[in-house]
Chain A
Amino acid sequence: MKKSQYITLSLVAIAGTLALPTFAATPNFKTEVQPILEANCVRCHTESKVKGGLRIDTYEGLMEGGDTADAVVPGKPDESELLVRIHLRPIDEGVMPDEGQALSGEEVAILDAWVEAGAKWPKGVTLTERKPEKPRRVTVPTKTPANNAEAAVMLDDLLRRENAETGVITTKTIGDDAFLRRATIDLIGRIPTMKEIREYQNWGEDRRARLIEKLSSNHRFADRWTIFMADMLRIRSNVTGGNQLLAYIHGSLDQGKPYDDLVRELISASGRVNSNPAVGYILGDDAAPMELAAATSQIFLGVRIGCAMCHDHPFDDWEQKHFYDLAAFFGKTKKMQSRRQGGAVYTTEGDEMMVLWPPEDKAAPDKRRPVKPKFPFQMSDPGTTPPHIKRFEAVRLARAERNSGEDEAASLDALLDSVEPDLGKPGDPVLEEAKEESRKLNVHGDIYRSSELRTQLADLITDPRNDYFARAFVNRVWAELVGHGFVEPLDNFSDYSGLHHPSTLDFLAQEFIASGYNFRTLVRIITLSDVYRRSALPAETDIEIREKSELNFAAAPTRRMISEVLYDSIVIAGHLEDFKWPKGANSKEVTREIRVPTGEYTIIETDEPQPVMMAEKKPMRDDGYDLESSLKIDFNSVLNSREQAELATMRMESDEAIKAREMAAMREEQERRVMNFKTETVTETVDDNPRFDSAMRMATPAPPAHFLRVFGQPARTGLGEFRDDASSLRQQLLMLNGRMTHEASRVGTLEPIHRLLKKDQNLAIDWAYQEILTRLPTAEEKADARTIVNNSAEGMADLRWALLNSNEFRFLP
């Protein structure tokens, strides 16, 4: 209950001076103190919650104190734990309020003065929670922007108005070279090449707009943003349908499929991953209704309703029943597996509602009833159709007219092609006849029954009147490009999560909807804006101003390239995407240990789940340190895999039967006899001329300890898992001593810089700086570089190694 005086005092001394003279007069309890306590403290420190053993809703509770200390000692601010806690910085452990926004300086001063003056509390007053005020809004223009550039200008204007009176420092915009680097990294996932730099520099004044146009049409755009979507959807190569889902997302981005169509397909898909890869989303959570409800809400709507799975949401207003209502949309979905060994996994719809209310732990089994699906989110209803929805409808109408008639027959044929691969060549009369016959049958209805409930849900979720949908996605894309979200964590929209700049967000969401959920349009508007071009604050900036300015989008935060982008940038900077040495140039004798069979057998069991790698080549090492190799997936072959799945043999199989069969297969797999090996040392000649594939199409996530994971690629096992952008020792070791940076630094004789170096080392130095940092060296840097390079390839390798390892390389300009 009581902690030592010493600790209290030392906390106070460090945390700041408490005895602030600003409030000479005693604050008024009712008008000044009570509102602060009710808005910030009572939510968790009340009769029903009593966090930390402390109640703040009554005077008696407050005076009794919490589990660790006296909350308030009248007249003694420095002994009052409550004051100590609210004085901590927002980043400190133990800071109060724990949830929600920090108190303002003024609010803290009021509470200080109140305690100093004896913490007077009118007799019998009980405090009740006060909901946070809605964030302040400014008027969002209803005008239709003529193009993306004008939309970007409107965006900047809105943001400026929302930032008025916040006291932030708005930085200048970055220069052209830095813009080229930033945009190329963000849009296509690697640094620009020398060719791209030159082309850009030769363009006229409109070069930024041209660049955005060009990058967003580049084939790597889909690669880069597949990673973003894979993080969001938690795509894993080693679960059923994972690679197909990845390839499907890539294809969708590549074709520019509208985001709402994509999400509708993901949520409503039924069937088999090879014929309908979108079903990978449902299979990723094993088609389990509760998990899918939690994931769908959190991923696509940015609402953590999953917290209400077991109890009413602790920090929000969602009730457990809301969650069950939502889960019921998934309540008839079943995961099935055809009976054959390794048979196709697919989903279908059962007749029975599996989601029952009340929850299992709250009622006897016979008292639980099937839940009727009900969408717990409120649709906006302004009365008349708002302009952006009219625009949306016009876009959709135009598209529907273009596409009418093509879709359905095509998709059915595709389905038939994939399930009956050996029937014959396209155009084969037998096949055509079979197709004709099959079209009369309801293939979907018979085997892959599509989900009516999930189709309803998908329509509700993607409805342009559902404000959550577009905002959640815009918030994620914005944060990816600008560095911070309007809400953090990015998937936590709630009255309590401190949404800021609501009007800017609304505007972007409306433009996104009006474009027909065109992902590229959204990216273009953001990247054409001034806010995307902000520079960082200088080193001497006060830390608080810095944080405030960055959070309010007035200054660029320091962003590191995500791991796949860093990997690909090293590959591009070092010309490792292709051979950079002639054949035989790096021949050397290598002594290594190999394992040779002894002729004896041992039974081994493997129980560790092995990551499934669709590898084109074998890992490079066998000493347990294969941390930089790229294991490529061929998206086309994943989608066109000729996996045999005869419709006729597909039968309903119970979960138990599937489990038992899998166990038997596992046993067979695990208890296999393997040859014993012994280690021998051999010497061989190898031509060491490595090439590296792009990390964008690797099996994902990479194994733990791989370069990509060490630089923050998430495991994608849980919801709400974001990229870890912290630095670590392992990262540095990989960069300092890794094979990739080493090979990238070496000057290959087939590289342009090799010739330049022979001609004029000044040109070669410029070239190296541009290829690696997308800029020319300063005079001082150039002088240093001349000493380092000293007309030698080794010296140039040293320079390039240092440039690749530098913070400037891995952090965005």
Chain B
Amino acid sequence: MSCSDYQFTRRRMLKTFSASLLGMPVSQLLAQGTSLEAKAEHVILFWNSGGMSHLDTWDPKPGRKVQGEFNPIKTSVEGMEISEIFPQLAKQMHHGTLIRSIAGTNGDHGRAQYELQTGFNQSPNIMHPGLGSLVVHEREPLGDLPALVSISGQAARSGYLGQQCEAYFVGRPGQKDPYLTFPEGISHARGMQRLQILEKMNRRTSDQKGAKELKASQTALKDAVALMESPALKAFDLKEEIPATVEKYGDTEFGRGALLARRLVEKGVRFVQVNRGGFDNHGNIFEAMRNHGAAMDPAIASLISDLKANGKLDKTLVVVLSEFGRTPRINDGGGRDHWARVFSCMMAGGGLKGGSIVGASDPDGMEVAERPVKVADLHATLCHALGIDLNKELTTPQGRPMRLVRKEAAPINELFT
């Protein structure tokens, strides 16, 4: 069910879709000589929409006027401190990495979200794929479930990679997807009977016409039925977990999202994006961030420790990201405004060196002080961790050559040991 599975050769298609020799794209064959030793197989991206304050999370500034209400707390890593809103996460930071010197360039939600989720700036004539779409286009599928799942909202679109690389989305974690079972009143047996009738009808049409569009449609149908019937679907059902586990993740939508993400990764899903909004705190930021912390802390901390316990952490890159940070100066409404000049993100697992801090902001969190990390470098880092060729170029359906990762981007090498 990888998005490159639907062989498709019509106009407007992407050249790479059917570019397989020996079942592999030419470039993958070509790249074999240079392929790196990838450790990561999966990604769980926590997308925090609205611009999450860096000072109140990963980059506290104790004793400065900009500090705000939260005190820093010690973590399991000597010398690394994070905000007090993350007490449980603090104990997991030996698995985590803080990047404190992201140098953003977009202070507008739309443009910044686009850049952070695609690695490119918006430009006319092209819609870049989101990170998840890119990953599932480049890495072969594992297991029955869709390779890309977006929880509690939409992941970035698949852009020029097309409909097949769109995320399979889960409205709310734990809620059943009504489209995975036959409609109300249609028993399983009757549904299967219907499918047989349909199969026969489609075969007749294909026997006459045999166009590849029909075959692609039938492949999609087969995949859809396989998914409906897959035992792996149980991964979506959180009732399988004991109540204590749900409780441990904090019984919130976000906590259930994190728990579901873990279950999906265990079943082979390549990329899970868990969405959460409400970070655009122009007013009353401390109350809001305390609430955010209460939801995020148990969820992400439990996820990391569970992945570690079942041996999946090394293969799963956990990323906590937002489109920008917030102004160090606290405004009259007790909030902070948009700040892209420097902000932070947290990564854990995926074979990255745990317990490290990359770069630093200046004493007030206003500017990058050390080792600027460009937004595209984050993407290069993620691709590198997954063994995706950073120099790969695709040709879009419009005939335009596009690199997967911006040319000037470089992975953060110190995270790969």
The B186-211 residues at the A interface (CB cut-off 8 A) are 186, 190, 193-195, 197-198, 200-202, 204-211
Q: With A4-B33, A737-B182 as known contacts, state yes or no: A558 contacts B213, CB within 8 Å.
A: yes
| A291 in contact (CB, < 8 A) | yes
Of A90-98, A111-119, A414-422, A444-452, the one contacting chain B is A90-98
B224 pairs with A732, CB closer than 8 A: yes
Residues of B within 8 A of A557 (CB): 10, 211
B401 within 8 Å of A (CB atoms): yes
Q: Which of A10, A560, A784, A802 has most B Cβ within 10 Å? A: A802
Per a CB cutoff under 8 Å, which of A94, A715, A736, A794 touches B27?
Answer: A94
Tell me whether A719 is interfacial, beta carbon within 8 Å.
yes
Interface centre among B16, B193, B198, B208 (most CB of A within 10 A): B198
Query: Which residues of chain B are within 8 angstroms of A721 by Cβ–Cβ distance?
Result: 127
Complex CA–CA separation, A722 to B219 (angstroms): 23
Neighbouring B residues of A492 by C-beta, 8 Å: 398-399
Set of chain B residues within 8 Å of A98, measured between Cβ atoms:
395, 401
Q: Mark A719-742, 1 if CB is under 8 A from B, else 0.
A: 111101111111111101111001
Within the complex, the shortest CB–CB distance from B10 to chain A, in Å, comes to: 7
B395-417 contact mask (Cβ, 8 Å, vs A): 1 or 0: 10111010000000000000000
Contact pick for B224, options A623, A726, A729, CB 8 Å: A729
Contact of B25 among A93, A710, A715, A739 (CB under 8 A): A93
Is A808 part of the binding interface, using a Cβ–Cβ cutoff of 8 Å? Answer: yes
A799 to B333, CA, bound (A): 63
Contact B124–A3 (Cβ < 8 Å): no
- Using CB atoms, name the residue of chain B closest to A801: B194
Q: Does A682 contact B (CB under 8 A)?
A: no
Q: Nearest residue in A to B26 (C-beta to C-beta)?
A: A94
A97 to B210, CA, bound (A): 29
B362 at the interface (CB under 8 A from A): no
Evaluate contact between A808 and B201: CB separation under 8 angstroms: yes
Q: How far is the CA of A560 from the CA of B13 in the complex (A)?
A: 15
With A484-B11, A623-B172 already in contact, the answer to whether A720 and B398 are too (CB < 8 A) is: yes
Q: Is the CB of A603 within 8 A of B288?
A: yes
Stretch at the interface among B161-169, B258-266, B375-383: B161-169
Pairwise interchain contact A803-B12, C-beta atoms closer than 8 A: no
Candidate in A95, A295, A602, A808 with the most chain B CB atoms within 10 angstroms: A808
The CA-CA distance from A725 to B109 in the complex, in Å, is 30
Binds B, one of A54-62, A190-198, A431-439, A536-544: A536-544
- Contact segment of A521-529, A606-614, A644-652: A606-614
Q: Which of B58-66, B98-106, B173-181, B300-308 contacts A (4 or more CB under 8 A)?
A: B173-181
Return the CB mask of A788-813 against B: 1 if under 8 Å, else 0: 10000010001101110111101100
Nearest-Cβ distance from residue A643 to partner chain B, whole angstroms = 25
Minimum Cβ distance to chain B for residue A546 (Å) = 8
**Minimum Cβ distance to chain B for residue A486 (Å):** 12
Asked if A93 and B216 sit within 8 Å, CB to CB, the answer is no
With A98-B401, A609-B110, A623-B171 as given contacts, are A811 and B124 in contact (CB-CB < 8 Å)? no
In the complex, what residues of B have CB within 8 A of residue A784's CB? 197, 200
The answer to whether A608 touches B153, judged by C-beta atoms less than 8 angstroms apart, is: yes
* Nearest CB in chain A to that of B29: its residue: A7
Give the CA-CA distance A538 to B183 in the complex, in Å.
36
Tell me how far the C-beta of B8 lies from the nearest C-beta in chain A, rounded to whole angstroms. 5
Q: For B175, what are the chain A residues with a Cβ–Cβ distance below 8 Å?
A: 623-625
Interface flag for A68 (CB, 8 Å): yes
A718 touches B127 (CB 8 A): yes
C-alpha gap A670/B50 in the complex (Å): 11
Structural contact, B288 and A605, CB atoms closer than 8 A: yes
A545 CB, nearest partner CB in chain B, Å:
13
Interface string of B209-230 (1 = CB under 8 A from A): 1111110111111011101100
Contact between chains at A671 and B284 (CB < 8 Å): yes
Does A667 reach chain B (CB closer than 8 Å)?
A: yes
B contact residues around A794 at 8 Å (CB): 190
Q: Does B245 contact A (CB under 8 A)?
A: no
Decide if A63 is an interface residue (CB 8 Å cutoff). no
Q: Are B164 and A726 in touch, CB under 8 angstroms?
A: yes
**In whole angstroms, how far apart are the Cα atoms of A810 and B218 in the complex?**
12
A728 near B125 with CB under 8 A, answer no
* Contact status A603-B284, CB under 8 Å: yes
B394 within 8 Å of A (CB atoms): yes
Q: How far is the CB of B174 from chain A (nearest CB, A)?
A: 10
The answer for the CA separation of A10 and B195 in the assembled complex, in Å, is 41
Q: A558-B214, A798-B190 are in contact. Are A704 and B171 (CB under 8 A)?
A: no
Other-chain contact of B26, A93, A294, A805 (Cβ < 8 Å): A93
B209-A605 in contact (CB<8A): no
Q: Out of B154, B172, B200, B211, which one reaches A558, CB within 8 Å? A: B211
Closest residue on chain A to residue B213 by CB atoms: A558
What are the residues of chain A within 8 A of B190 when measuring CB–CB?
A: 794, 798
Could you tell me the distance between the alpha carbons of A540 and B206 in the complex, rounded to whole angstroms? 10
Which residues in B have their C-beta under 8 angstroms from that of A806?
Answer: 198, 201-202, 205
Q: Does A712 contact B (CB under 8 A)?
A: yes
Q: State in angstroms the CA–CA spacing of A4 and B207 once bound together.
A: 42
Bound Cα distance A135, B296 (Å): 62
Q: Does A705 contact B (CB under 8 A)?
A: yes
Residues on B with C-beta less than 8 A from A536 are 209, 211
Q: Tell me which of B35-43, B85-93, B275-283 binds A.
A: B275-283
Q: Which residues of A contact B206 (CB under 8 A)?
A: 539, 807
- Give the Cβ gap from B398 to chain A, nearest Cβ, in Å: 5
Q: What residue in chain B is nearest A496 (Cβ atoms)?
A: B399
* A672-730 interface (Cβ within 8 A of B): 704-705, 710, 712, 715, 717-722, 724-730
What separation, in Å, do the CA atoms of A117 and B126 have in the docked complex?
44
Is residue B49 within 8 Å, beta carbon to beta carbon, of the partner chain? Answer: yes
Q: Which of B218-251 contact A (CB under 8 A)?
A: 218-221, 223-225, 227-228
Interface residues of B in 1-31 (CB under 8 A from A): 1, 6, 8-13, 15-19, 21-22, 25-27, 29-30
Q: Is B310 an interface residue (CB 8 A)?
A: no
> Is the CB–CB distance between B283 and A671 below 8 Å?
yes
The 0/1 profile, CB within 8 Å of B marked 1, for residues 544-581 of chain A is 00110000000001101000000000000000000000
Point out the residues of chain A lying under 8 angstroms from B26, CB to CB: 11, 88, 92-94
Does B293 reach chain A (CB closer than 8 Å)? no
Contact assessment for B216 and A726 in the assembled complex, using a CB-CB cutoff below 8 Å: yes
Is B163 a contact of A732 with CB atoms below 8 Å? no
B30 touches A7 (CB 8 A): yes
Closest residue of chain B to A69, judged by CB? B30
Closest 8 CB pairs of A and B: A624-B171, A539-B210, A93-B19, A607-B280, A732-B224, A742-B183, A558-B211, A607-B50
| 10 cross-chain CB contacts under 8 A | A98-B401, A489-B12, A492-B399, A547-B9, A558-B211, A558-B214, A607-B279, A729-B146, A729-B168, A801-B194
> Assuming A667-B333, A671-B282, A721-B127, what are 14 further A-B pairs, CB within 8 angstroms?
A95-B15, A558-B211, A609-B109, A609-B110, A624-B171, A724-B163, A729-B223, A732-B223, A736-B221, A736-B228, A798-B193, A802-B198, A803-B201, A811-B213
Which residues of chain B have a CB within 8 Å of any CB of chain A?
1, 6, 8-13, 15-19, 21-22, 25-27, 29-30, 32-33, 49-51, 109-110, 123-127, 146, 152-154, 157, 162-164, 166, 168-172, 175, 177-184, 186, 190, 193-195, 197-198, 200-202, 204-214, 216-221, 223-225, 227-228, 277-284, 287-288, 291, 333, 394-395, 397-399, 401
